[in-house]
């Protein structure tokens, strides 16, 4: 009894296999088929088409080859360049891309691998250089970048990396120099800078630090010397200087302290010598000197006084003007 059952199963499998082979054995040209309601028919026939469909270039060389089962594209669809090299190799299931689509250059080198699931991009997409190295890796879901993203220099080191959500940057994105040192890192939310952004030189020393809110500078902006010491800091609001400004000499000594309002100097400003001694102090209004400005020698004695009225300076006296 068991032997008979096994024989029946084997017979059915062989019959189905032979049926599929027979269906695939028929071969027609692309111009001889037509599409109705997403079903492929041989022109003039009522039943859906089963078999191979081919398209050729004017010179007779094969351009496209696909397999149709019950009127739908199934299996590998191959598209060729006119020189005979493969251009696309795509897996289909019931008219939808399903599997890895491979894309080639005219000289036959693999350029890209695109993952599909039920007609939708889903998985890790890879792009290759001419010498076969991966230059881009992107996680896709629902045809959009969703997940990790990386692209590479020709030397194989990472150039950019980060996360995406619905094709928009999300979280911290990093950019690197060819030597592997970090160049820039920016925090994103829904594709817009939100948080701290930092820039570095090729030695890995921080050059700039900025705070963003909804894509606009908002917070403390800092610039640094090549030795890593702070060069200046200024409060930013809505992309404009608003608040305390401080600038330093390369040795870390305070050089200037002032206040900004709507991008213009406002209120008291002080300038210092490298020794830390006060050099100049005066008031500003709407970005212009206003009122008395006092200039000092490094020993602290008064050098001169200048009265500013409507942006014009009037020197009152020049005492103790010592040479430095």
**Block means of pLDDT (10 residues each) for the chain, length 324 residues?**
50 47 73 94 95 96 97 97 97 97 98 98 97 97 98 96 98 97 98 97 96 97 96 98 98 98 97 98 96 96 93 67 44
Radius of gyration of the chain measured on its C-alpha atoms: 36
**Domains of the chain: which residue ranges?**
218-324
Note the pTM of the prediction, 2 decimals: 0.79
Distance CA 125, CA 112 (A): 7
**Which tokens go with 218?**
């908002």
In sequence order, the β-bridge partners of residue 278 are 272
Q: How many helices (H) and strands (E) does the chain have?
A: 1, 31
How many other C-beta atoms lie within 10 A of the C-beta of residue 314?
Answer: 9
**DSSP H/E element including 320:** none
pLDDT (0 to 100) of residue 139:
98
DSSP 94: T
pLDDT at residue number 312: 82
The pLDDT score that the predictor gives to residue 318 is 57
Instruction: Confirm or reject CATH 1.20.120 for domain 218-324, answering yes or no.
Output: no
Distance of CA 190 to the CA centre of its chain: 13
> How crowded is residue 102: how many other Cβ atoms within 10 Å of its Cβ?
19
């Amino acid at each position: 009894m068991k032997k008979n059952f096994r024989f029946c199963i084997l017979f059915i499998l062989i019959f189905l296999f032979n049926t599929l082979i027979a269906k695939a054995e028929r071969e027609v040209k692309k111009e001889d088929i037509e599409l109705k309601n997403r079903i492929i028919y041989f022109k003039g026939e009522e039943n859906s088409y089963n078999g191979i469909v081919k398209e050729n270039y004017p010179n007779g060389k094969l351009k496209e080859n696909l397999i149709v089962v019950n009127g739908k594209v199934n299996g590998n669809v191959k598209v060729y360049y006119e020189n005979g090299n493969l251009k696309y190799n795509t897996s289909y299931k019931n008219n939808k891309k399903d599997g890895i689509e491979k894309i080639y250059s005219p000289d036959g080198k693999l350029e890209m691998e695109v993952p599909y699931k039920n007609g939708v991009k889903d998985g890790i997409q890879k792009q290759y250089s001419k010498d076969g190295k991966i230059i881009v890796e992107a996680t896709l879901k629902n045809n959009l970048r969703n997940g990790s993203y990386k692209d590479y220099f020709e030397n194989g080191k990472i150039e950019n990396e980060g996360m995406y959500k619905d094709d928009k940057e999300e979280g911290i994105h990093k950019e690197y120099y060819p030597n592997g040192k970090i160049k820039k890192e920016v925090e994103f939310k829904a594709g817009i800078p939100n948080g701290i952004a930092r820039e570095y030189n090729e030695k890995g020393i921080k050059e700039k630090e900025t705070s963003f809110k909804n894509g606009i500078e908002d917070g403390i902006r800092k610039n640094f010397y090549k030795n890593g010491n702070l060069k200046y800091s200024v409060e930013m609001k809505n992309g404009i200087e608003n608040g305390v400004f401080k600038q330093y000499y390369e040795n870390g000594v305070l050089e200037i302290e002032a206040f900004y309002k709507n991008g213009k100097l406002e209120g008291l400003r002080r300038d210092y010598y490298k020794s830390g001694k006060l050099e100049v102090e005066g008031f500003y209004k709407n970005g212009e000197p206003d009122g008395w400005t006092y200039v000092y020698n490094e020993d602290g004695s008064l050098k001169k006084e200048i009265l500013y009225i409507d942006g014009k300076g009037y020197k009152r006296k020049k005492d103790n003007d010592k040479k430095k």
